[in-house]
Amino acid sequence: MSTFQSDRYQWRETYFVLFESSRRPTLDQVRQTLAAIPNHFQITDVQADDQGRFESLTILSPDDFAALDVSYLAGDEVVEQCMALADEFKPSESVDSTKLARLVSLDARFDVMHFEQLADAPPEEESDEMLDPSALLVVLEALIELTGGVGVDPQSGSLL
């Protein structure tokens, strides 16, 4: 079940990890990578294709009041997105030129959707300060390393 379907969580943002489809990891590789992160994640709703390659999973991080849905996509849509990003980002001191040059050769991505766990408190007592982005950041870093990919924060328009 997608976290979108849960009334316990609210979607906040989506990040991307772009990489070459030939570097698509297996579900076991993703699980091992996430298990190596020193945190208290709960991994659920795991999906793999017939060859055992990663399709999707959900990561719950109760200590961070967060959840992540991670899913795999490849093909023309990703290629077009990478070309558009390469055009959008102009070389500058704030943009890593190596990562920017790689964008045009990437054809797969992980969508990393970040969700906030809603508190059981009445709305007037809820605080935006409960959501901790730590889970998102460490998972992004681990997936980028696993795939040799490039992370993208579309909200800020930055490469990670």
Helices (H), the chain: 27-35, 76-88, 97-102, 134-147
What pLDDT does residue 23 have? 98
State the total domains in the chain: 1
pLDDT in tens, 52-83: 999 999 999 998 999 999 999 999 999 999 99
**Cα 93 to Cα 74: distance, rounded to the nearest angstrom:** 30
- Segment 25-43 shows an average pLDDT of 93
pLDDT in tens, 103-120: 999 999 999 999 999 976
Q: Name the pLDDT band for 32 (thresholds 50, 70, 90).
A: very high
Q: Name the pLDDT band for 137 (thresholds 50, 70, 90).
A: very high
Q: Name the pLDDT band for 7 (thresholds 50, 70, 90).
A: confident
Cβ(151)–Cβ(11) under 8 Å?
no
What pLDDT does residue 119 have? 78
3 state SS of 9: strand
Q: Name the pLDDT band for 6 (thresholds 50, 70, 90).
A: confident
Mean pLDDT of the chain: 89
- Segment 20-49 shows an average pLDDT of 94
Q: Name the pLDDT band for 142 (thresholds 50, 70, 90).
A: very high
127 pLDDT exceeds 60?
Answer: no
Cβ(27)–Cβ(45) under 8 Å?
no
Tokens, residue 91: 């070389």
- Which residue segment(s) compose the domain that 63 sits in? 3-159
